[in-house]
Every structure is written in C-alpha cells, then in structure tokens.
A and B are shown apart, each in its own frame.
Chain A
Amino acid sequence: MARAAGVLSQLTCQAPGIMAHPGLPAFWVELVLAAVVVGIGWTLWRTGPPLRTGNGLSLAAWPIVGSWLRRLVSVPWLLLGLRILSAALFLLVIHAGLFGTPLPARNLATVLTWSLWWTGLIISIYFVGSAWCAICPWDAIATWLVRRRLWGRGSETASLQLRVPRMLRNVWPAWGMFVGLTWLELGLGITTSPYLTALLALVIVVLATLSLAVFERKAFCRHFCPVGRTIGVYSELSPVALRPIDSTICANCRSLECYHGTASVEPCPTHLVMGRLQENTFCTSCGACALSCPTHNVAWQTRPVGQEAMETARPRWDAGWFIIGLVALTSLHGLSMLPGWERWMRELGRLIGDSGQLLWSFSIGMGVSLLVPGALFAGAVYLTRRLLPRAVRFDRAFASLAFAGLPLAFSYHLAHNINHLVREAWGAGSVFLNPLGIGTLPLSEAEMQLRHLRPLVHQEVLFALQAGLLIFGFWLATRILQSRLIQLAGAADPGRLARLPVLAFITAVTLFNLWLLMQPMIMRM
C-alpha cells in the first residue's frame, strides 16, 4: 500500500500557484564571465611576493566620532538595552508562531525570522562583523536564566563550569547543527510554518541554557551554535572587528582582564585574549573585553576586506570543512529553489519509492550536494600538494586553502539573500502592526504579483548587486588562494601550476553559482 509518510507537514499554508523571481539577465552574466576570464588570467600570470593587504585603522582614532565610539563600547547600558529589545522581539516571534495565523506571509514569526533576520543577518556581517552575537536573544535569555542577573558577572556557582569534552572542542557540533538547520529549512519547509519556527526557537533556547548551565563560559557560542559559527567564519572577511587600539599596551599587560574578567565584568565568553587575537572566528563582539580593560584599549577597528582569511586566520581541519560545507549549503539553497529541483526530487522519489514530503529524496539530494563540492575540493588540494615545491601535510593544505572558499560562499549567500530580502520583505510593515496576523487572509494572486513586480530596490540595481557580489567573491577567493599558497610553499614561489587545481575549483563554484542566479527562483512565501 502506498502511503504518504506520516502527516504531511504541520500546515503548509500557501496560496495556490507558484511564483518565480526572474534570473540574472544576459548582460550581467556576460559581465561576470568576462571578469572571471580576466581574473583567471591575472591569477595565473602574477608572480612574486604575497599581496599586501594594508594596515587597519582604529575607529577610536577617527576625528569627532572616535571618542564617541570609544565611549559607546565602554558603557554597558547600550548593549543591555539592545539585548532586552532583541529578547523581547524573540519572545514576540515565539508568541506569534504558537498563537498566530498559520499563514507564513502574515505571521511575524516567519516574516521576521526567515525573510528579515536570516537574510539580513548575512548582509550585516560584512558591515558589523559578529555584532549580532552580542545581542543574540538565545544567549541573552540563557544567561539571564542561569546567571540570574541582567548584566554583569554572575555567580560562578550558578553553572557546573565543566570543561567541554575534548572530542567536542571544535566546530563539528556546530557543523552538524548547521546541516540539521538547513535540512529543517529546505527539506521540512520550516520557513513556511510559523508554528515550527516557534518550536525551533524554543528548542535552541533550551539547548543554549543547558550548555550554559553545564559547561564553562559560553560553550554553546563557541562550539555548538550553527548561526554563531557561520557568523564567525564569515566575519573573517568583514572589514571591521574589535581589536586593541595600541598593541604594545596589550603586549605588556600581565593581568589579562579581557580573558579573566573583573569582579563586575564577565570574562571572555570564548576564551580569547585580546592582545593575541588574530581572527574574528570566535569573537562574539560582546564587548566584555572593552568593559574590563583597565586602559580602555579595545575599540572597533577597520581593516582590509578578507585580511584574516588571507593572512592571519589559523587553518584548522574542522573549520576548513565548515567553510567547504558553507560553499555546498549556500549553493544548495539556490538549487532547492529552482523549479527543476522539485522535478528531480519527484523522479528520485519514484525511483526509491519515497512518498509524502519526499524527505528521503531531499536528504539524498542534500547529501550529494554536500559530498560533491567536498570531494572536488579535496581532489584539488591533493593535486596542489603534488605541485608544491615542498611537502605539506594534506590536512594543513586542506584547512589553509579552504579559506579561498569563504568568499565564494559569502558572496553567493549575499546575492541569494538580497533577492529574498528585496522581493519578499515587501509588506513586512503590516506584519509588525499585526504580528499574529489576526483576521488576515492568504496572499492573493494579485498581492503575489505585486511583490514580484515591485521589489524594494529597482530590479536592475538588484541584478547589478548580484553580479558585483559574484565578481567580488571570485576576486577575493583568488587573492586568498595566492596568499595561502605562498604561506604553504614557505619562502619559495609556489609557481603557476600549483595555483591551477584550486583556481579550477573556485572557477567551477563561481560558474555554478552564476548559473543558479541565472535561473528563475521560486518565491519562498
């Protein structure tokens, strides 16, 4: 007996008919292709020492606004206010998800979570690095519950303060959670269910609270949080970060308040010492270091885009896989929103006897989407090692060269999310006025057409942004490749041939992402 697996979704509430966003037009495609050809030529032609990225500039040194910005990071009330605001919005999302309309386009839970926050978050990373983590409501609520204080250093006895087991002291748990989140988002269709969105929010609060109550400091942020780790690796490309104003002060510091905290200020939640900070990956921008530093030597700093990924970030095997996973999963987001994806899933479902929401078929499709880029990149690294003038361990080469994948994932993620944001955030204002969607009806065909035809920015501007982002991602990836290859080869010039395998991977991913952007994309809600 053929039987649809279980009950089909909680409520897949959608108006009938499928609307698709138009893909990138030929002009912009040709422009990206031309840029890729020029980029390949430049990467292969260029020889010599590593490219210099320049020095950072502390925002505290800026005239007029500098002193204001410096004061801003040293007062706790601003951050506390933002935390309370984000927690209040988060609780409203849960309330709307559980008690509001099941229509995703009319409920604050789905509109705020998936159309505004999840899409806007990735865009914000470029401008403010990991600042979101500082006001994250999951962590805020967990901290208030466990430490039983709104602000300041909580009681040490409120938590068991255990060390995270050695096998979990990496980003593999976060990687697993990110794969799970993507499965829920694209496979189960949680983005179209306010109820399931609220349930997910509640589950993560429980996990964050459990982690904070059991482990020392903020183990959830460092090892488990899929959003935090994604922000962490992406913020390696960001041109802003919290850094020492004067590094010599940090070099001579023996008390390390930034690490240990003070009587009133929490220690660094992720075990970082400001004076030795070389990468943004684990910094949650919580500002505890700025508050505890007796010399007020911590401030936001600008630096060249991608500097960490090129030069200072330490290659790690787990982080390398996380980056390649991001390359795969960001492309899967685009792939699963193509009209053809549904057809492929149906064919696969018939082949394996899947039914209902075709979750097995989706899981297989997702697994293949993860495996193919991973295998291609591993192959490219293997070839690169053989072409390098000196022997390098595979894991070291893999982790180091994986940084080149970071701008590819980030740029496509941005290009894809911008499309969602400008086309699906239309009408979000009305959701804030009626967060539970009381008395509302599903989007009519006319409203869907209106959204489709009236994006928040002009369509040509959107296309220009998408094309520009792909070119930016390709350009930055080639720069990171050159820089990391020189590091791997030591003082020697790695030679043009050694660049070829990973350059081929970068080109393949860019062209695939370009193809995805050329296709019409199904509207999410």
Chain B
Amino acid sequence: MSILRSLVFVMAGMLLPLAASAHHVLGRPAYSLNEDSNTPPSMQVETQIGDYFVTYMVFPAFPRPNEPGRINLYATRLDNDEPLTRPVTFKVRDDSWFATEEEVIGQQEPVDNVYRQGFVFREPGKYIITAEFTANGEPYSIDFPLQIGQVSSVGPIGITIGALVIILVGINLLQRKRLARLKTRDYHAGKGA
C-alpha cells in the first residue's frame, strides 16, 4: 500500500484555531474528551527518551479511513519538567518489516505546550508514526504505532496452525520410521533365533 496514496492530506494548522485549553495536572495534559472528537483517545503512550519524557495520544478512539484524526504529543525535560518548545516533525511509514518509504506529514510548533498533528488516511492498515525533534543539539526520534480501521489478524493463527501441523506430522513420520525400524529388528532377531 502506498503511503502517498493512503495519506490524502495532512493539515498541520487545521486544528490550531480550534485549540481548547489543555489542563495540566502534575505536568501532564489531562484530556478526557477532545476538542475535535467526542471520544477519549484510543492510545496513550508514555515514554522516556534521552532527557525527555514524552506523552502521545491518538484521537479519536479508533481512527478510520477517510475520517480526520489527530496525534497529540507532549514532551517535558526529565530534570526540570520544562516543556519542549522546539518544532517536532511527524513522519509516517507502513508497519511492515520491508517498508522503507517514509513520508513527512508535517512539522508542528507547540500550542499550549502540546504538538497537534492532524491526519486523514484513505486505507486501513498499520502504520508507524515517527516524531523527530532536536534539543540541545541532539536529534531525537520516537516511533509510535498507529492503526487505521480494522486490520486482519489471521497471521498468528496461520503461524500457530502451521507450527502445530509441522509438529504433529513430523512426529508422526518419525514415529512411523521408528516403529518400522523396530519391526525390522524384531523380525531379524526372530529369524536369528
């Protein structure tokens, strides 16, 4: 699936005029409902990277193809809880082992210390969003998963059934060989006697 085709448009500043006030509790933005979505986020990832603690949310709860969604990112320094102010670049790629094609979807400045990146995907799938920024001369890069729509999960079932079939058939063949060998040995032993 081509990202260029899937990603119809990304409007970085689209949502900025609508920005509601983010409430900060103990240094974290506390959202329950979002200004452009009446659902809580489907995913909240909190992670540490270098000198920063990063919180990442996706709205709405389950982004679907052809529906606008948004990523919120919030980063603070670990030593003094000072929020990140440098611009953050968001990129996207397919979540597969062989995906190499990556596309920049926007660069955002913080509004009320929160970086907001809008998106619309045309096709369902599993994607990786990369957030990149530079602080104190050091580049930072964080990968987050993003699922759009329903994605089939038959892979693990197929692998499990395959593994079970290999085990059962393999053991059966080995056992047949073993029994045949034992029969031959018994036959020769009987003949010798």
Given known contacts A205-B160, A206-B164, A444-B32, A346 and B141 CB-to-CB distance under 8 angstroms: no
Does residue A12 face the partner (Cβ distance < 8 Å to B)? yes
Does A7 lie within 8 Å of B167, measured CB to CB? no
Per the bound structure, the CA–CA distance linking A1 and B145 in Å amounts to 20
Residue of A nearest to B29 (CB): A16
A213: chain B residues within 8 A (beta carbon):
167-168, 171
Does B175 lie within 8 Å of A158, measured CB to CB? yes
Does residue A13 face the partner (Cβ distance < 8 Å to B)? yes
1/0 per residue, CB under 8 A from B, across A335-366: the answer is 00000000000100110001111100000000
Does residue A6 face the partner (Cβ distance < 8 Å to B)? yes
> Of the 9-residue stretches B6-14, B39-47, B116-124, which lies at the interface with chain A?
B39-47
> Of the 9-residue stretches B49-57, B84-92, B103-111, B184-192, which lies at the interface with chain A?
B49-57
Does A214 lie within 8 Å of B171, measured CB to CB? yes
B17: chain A residues within 8 A (beta carbon):
none
Per the bound structure, the CA–CA distance linking A444 and B34 in Å amounts to 12
A159: chain B residues within 8 A (beta carbon):
171, 175
A3, A6, A445, most chain B CB atoms within 10 A: A3
Could you tell me how many residues of chain A have their Cβ less than 8 Å away from some Cβ of chain B?
A: 51
B25: chain A residues within 8 A (beta carbon):
17
Does residue A82 face the partner (Cβ distance < 8 Å to B)? no
A3, A4, A158, most chain B CB atoms within 10 A: A4
B62: chain A residues within 8 A (beta carbon):
101
Q: Which of A1-24 contact B (CB under 8 A)?
A: 1-4, 6-17
Q: Which of B37-94 contact A (CB under 8 A)?
A: 39-45, 47-51, 53-54, 57, 61-62, 78
Q: How far is the CB of B174 from chain A (nearest CB, A)?
A: 6
A10: chain B residues within 8 A (beta carbon):
145
Residue of B nearest to A361 (CB): B48
Chain B facing A: main interface SS: mixed
A4: chain B residues within 8 A (beta carbon):
47, 49, 54, 141-143
Per the bound structure, the CA–CA distance linking A14 and B58 in Å amounts to 11
1/0 per residue, CB under 8 A from B, across A21-49: the answer is 00000000000000000000000000000
Q: How far is the CB of A344 from chain B (nearest CB, A)?
A: 12
Per the bound structure, the CA–CA distance linking A160 and B175 in Å amounts to 6
Q: Which of A177-231 contact B (CB under 8 A)?
A: 195, 198-199, 202, 205-206, 209-210, 213-214
Per the bound structure, the CA–CA distance linking A240 and B62 in Å amounts to 48
Contact among B48, B145, B168, B171 with A355 in the assembled complex (CB-CB below 8 Å) = B48
Residue of A nearest to B152 (CB): A99
Per the bound structure, the CA–CA distance linking A38 and B191 in Å amounts to 79
Q: How far is the CB of A4 from chain B (nearest CB, A)?
A: 4
B48: chain A residues within 8 A (beta carbon):
346, 349-350, 354-356, 358
B147: chain A residues within 8 A (beta carbon):
11, 102
Does residue A73 face the partner (Cβ distance < 8 Å to B)? no
Per the bound structure, the CA–CA distance linking A4 and B50 in Å amounts to 9
Given known contacts A2-B140, A3-B49, A16-B40, A8 and B168 CB-to-CB distance under 8 angstroms: no
Does residue B16 face the partner (Cβ distance < 8 Å to A)? no
Does residue A442 face the partner (Cβ distance < 8 Å to B)? yes
Q: How far is the CB of A10 from chain B (nearest CB, A)?
A: 7
A2: chain B residues within 8 A (beta carbon):
49-51, 138-141
Q: Which of A275-309 contact B (CB under 8 A)?
A: none
Does A7 lie within 8 Å of B144, measured CB to CB? yes
Q: How far is the CB of B138 from chain A (nearest CB, A)?
A: 6
Does residue A157 face the partner (Cβ distance < 8 Å to B)? yes
Does residue B128 face the partner (Cβ distance < 8 Å to A)? yes
A313: chain B residues within 8 A (beta carbon):
none
Given known contacts A16-B31, A103-B42, A355-B50, A8 and B145 CB-to-CB distance under 8 angstroms: yes
Per the bound structure, the CA–CA distance linking A2 and B50 in Å amounts to 6
Q: Which of B162-185 contact A (CB under 8 A)?
A: 163-164, 167-168, 171-172, 174-175, 178-179
Per the bound structure, the CA–CA distance linking A383 and B150 in Å amounts to 61
Per the bound structure, the CA–CA distance linking A441 and B12 in Å amounts to 26
Given known contacts A8-B47, A11-B43, A209 and B164 CB-to-CB distance under 8 angstroms: yes
B78: chain A residues within 8 A (beta carbon):
346, 350
Does residue A431 face the partner (Cβ distance < 8 Å to B)? no
Contact among B54, B154, B167, B171 with A206 in the assembled complex (CB-CB below 8 Å) = B167
Per the bound structure, the CA–CA distance linking A9 and B143 in Å amounts to 10
1/0 per residue, CB under 8 A from B, across A408-444: the answer is 0000000000000000000000000000000001111
Given known contacts A10-B145, A441-B39, A160 and B50 CB-to-CB distance under 8 angstroms: no
Per the bound structure, the CA–CA distance linking A159 and B170 in Å amounts to 11
Does residue A453 face the partner (Cβ distance < 8 Å to B)? no
Does residue B157 face the partner (Cβ distance < 8 Å to A)? yes
Does residue A98 face the partner (Cβ distance < 8 Å to B)? yes
Contact among B49, B141, B156 with A199 in the assembled complex (CB-CB below 8 Å) = B156
Does B43 lie within 8 Å of A206, measured CB to CB? no
Q: How far is the CB of B102 from chain A (nearest CB, A)?
A: 14
B54: chain A residues within 8 A (beta carbon):
4
Residue of A nearest to B55 (CB): A16
Contact among A15, A160, A205 with B178 in the assembled complex (CB-CB below 8 Å) = A160
Per the bound structure, the CA–CA distance linking A327 and B157 in Å amounts to 36
Q: How far is the CB of B71 from chain A (nearest CB, A)?
A: 13
Per the bound structure, the CA–CA distance linking A195 and B151 in Å amounts to 12
Residue of B nearest to A148 (CB): B168
Per the bound structure, the CA–CA distance linking A160 and B49 in Å amounts to 50
Per the bound structure, the CA–CA distance linking A145 and B50 in Å amounts to 49
Does residue B30 face the partner (Cβ distance < 8 Å to A)? yes
Per the bound structure, the CA–CA distance linking A3 and B131 in Å amounts to 10
Per the bound structure, the CA–CA distance linking A159 and B171 in Å amounts to 7
Does A1 lie within 8 Å of B139, measured CB to CB? yes
Does residue B95 face the partner (Cβ distance < 8 Å to A)? yes
Per the bound structure, the CA–CA distance linking A441 and B61 in Å amounts to 7
A522: chain B residues within 8 A (beta carbon):
none
Q: Which of A119-153 contact B (CB under 8 A)?
A: 145-146
Please give 20 more A-B residue pairs, beta carbons under 8 A apart, in addition to A2-B49, A349-B48: A2-B140, A4-B143, A7-B95, A7-B128, A8-B145, A9-B45, A11-B42, A12-B45, A13-B42, A14-B44, A15-B40, A16-B41, A98-B156, A158-B171, A160-B171, A160-B174, A209-B168, A356-B47, A358-B47, A441-B40
The 5 closest A-B pairs by CB, nearest first: A2-B50, A98-B153, A213-B171, A4-B142, A355-B49
Q: What is the interface of chain B, defined by CB distance below 8 A to chain A? A: 25, 28-32, 39-45, 47-51, 53-54, 57, 61-62, 78, 95, 128, 138-145, 147, 153-154, 156-157, 160, 163-164, 167-168, 171-172, 174-175, 178-179
Query: What are 6 A-B contacts with C-beta separation under 8 Å?
Result: A2-B51, A4-B47, A4-B54, A8-B142, A13-B44, A442-B39
